[in-house]
A and B are shown apart, each in its own frame.
Chain A
Amino acid sequence: KQEVTQIPAALSVPEGENLVLNCSFTDSAIYNLQWFRQDPGKGLTSLLLIQSSQREQTSGRLNASLDKSSGRSTLYIAASQPGDSATYLCAVQSTGNQFYFGTGTSLTVIP
């Protein structure tokens, strides 16, 4: 069974810093990996989707990379802002079309 781990569980940084969130998974047979953000009590907002054949995706200040062979993905956030404060979740779509989520990284950006 696929297991997804996110480190760190919580992160607090001053505004303007660049930061990296990590996601690891145990089974490299995946279709894609998706990063989401979740604000308290709300649903998930899709940030980036990386297909299994891709190495990275970029959107604005966000860059996500994927290394299938090592079972790792990173989400890089440049020049962090207080509005980036949220929980960030990664999810892998495994063969069989099931999605497995990590437990998330809670990010606080201090003004």
Chain B
Amino acid sequence: KAGVTQTPRYLIKTRGQQVTLSCSPISGHRSVSWYQQTPGQGLQFLFEYFSETQRNKGNFPGRFSGRQFSNSRSEMNVSTLELGDSALYLCASSPAGTNAYEQYFGPGTRLTVT
């Protein structure tokens, strides 16, 4: 099976712009979670989507949003970019369906905001 893929891998944006990141989960996985990783804060949970519905949400401002399509692919959008949004954005997919499940991570998208 192909692993989790994320596009693009690298992105440079200017403060105030918006950006959309994409994640394709492992075939058959229905849950997609997004994380932000920075040197200072470590890995922080953004949100999780399951069957096109947001099931969990972390403590991030409304500028961060996401969605999931019927084929389980997910997109994450950040509007009005700030310098502090520079980070590695990781998505993880899981088969889910039960309460306990394993997460499989993609390679990440490195976002730099200038």
Contacts and interface: CB of A to CB of B under 8 A. Distances in A.
Contacts of A104: 42
Nearest to B110: A41
A99 B99 CA distance: 12
A93 B106 CA distance: 18
A28 interface: no
A30 to B, nearest CB: 9
B45 A43 contact: no
B107 A43 contact: yes
Interface in B92-114: 92, 99-108, 110
Contacts of A51: 100
Chain A contact residues: helix, strand, loop or mixed: strand
A97 to B, nearest CB: 6
Interface string B29-48: 00001010000001111001
Contacts of B43: 89, 91, 101
A52 B33 CA distance: 21
Contacts of B44: 101
B105 A99 contact: no
B100 A99 contact: no
B56 interface: yes
B75 to A, nearest CB: 18
Interface string B44-81: 11001000000110100000000000000000000000
Contact of B105 (A32, A44, A103): A44
5 closest pairs, A vs B, by CB?
A31-B100, A101-B43, A44-B105, A43-B107, A43-B105
12 contacts: A32-B100, A32-B101, A34-B102, A41-B108, A43-B4, A43-B107, A44-B92, A93-B101, A97-B56, A98-B48, A101-B43, A102-B42
Interface of B: 4, 33, 35, 42-45, 48, 55-56, 58, 88, 90, 92, 99-108, 110
Interface of A: 31-32, 34, 36, 41-46, 49, 51-52, 89, 91, 93, 95-104
